[in-house]
Structure 1
């Protein structure tokens, strides 16, 4: 699922800043994400948001869905397209 069905968002095109803003807007701290999603550690989130490393496609999808579940489609679209 590279592309979100709602807004045609390619998860590989989301910037590190947008990933951080999505997380914060969804109300998650890095440690909270670690608790919510198996196989994702705080270090993974930090590396993704600091553009040091990307996550596997599966992890990106799960992470994006977690954030998206807490936000409206418009919020997601605005954060991803503007940052």
Structure 2
């Protein structure tokens, strides 16, 4: 599992949502893919009302990055 090309600490709530959607995941699907990450966690991360632990954000980013090119991840993370 390669490291994503961006730091999860630098990703805004809007960019988290765009990454998820671009990777083709609905919030419930993320819950099924990652143990310990619930739909509510994803929703709070994307709304900016709560941050997940760094470990969970890293796992989430790896999940999304597996479906996107490195360039797509960088563009979404840096511009939104």
Q: TM-score range by the shorter chain?
A: over 0.9
TM-score under structure 1 length normalisation: 0.90
TM-score under structure 2 length normalisation: 0.93
Q: Does 1:15 align with 2:12?
A: yes
- Aligned equivalent of 1:76, options 61, 73, 78: 73
4+ aligned runs moved over 6 Å, structure 1: none
Structure 1 residues not aligned, in runs of 5+:
none
Structure 2 residues not aligned, in runs of 5+:
none
RMSD value, Cα: 1.3
Count of aligned pairs between the two proteins: 79
Structure number with the bigger relative contact order (C-alpha 8 A, sep ≥ 6) is: 2
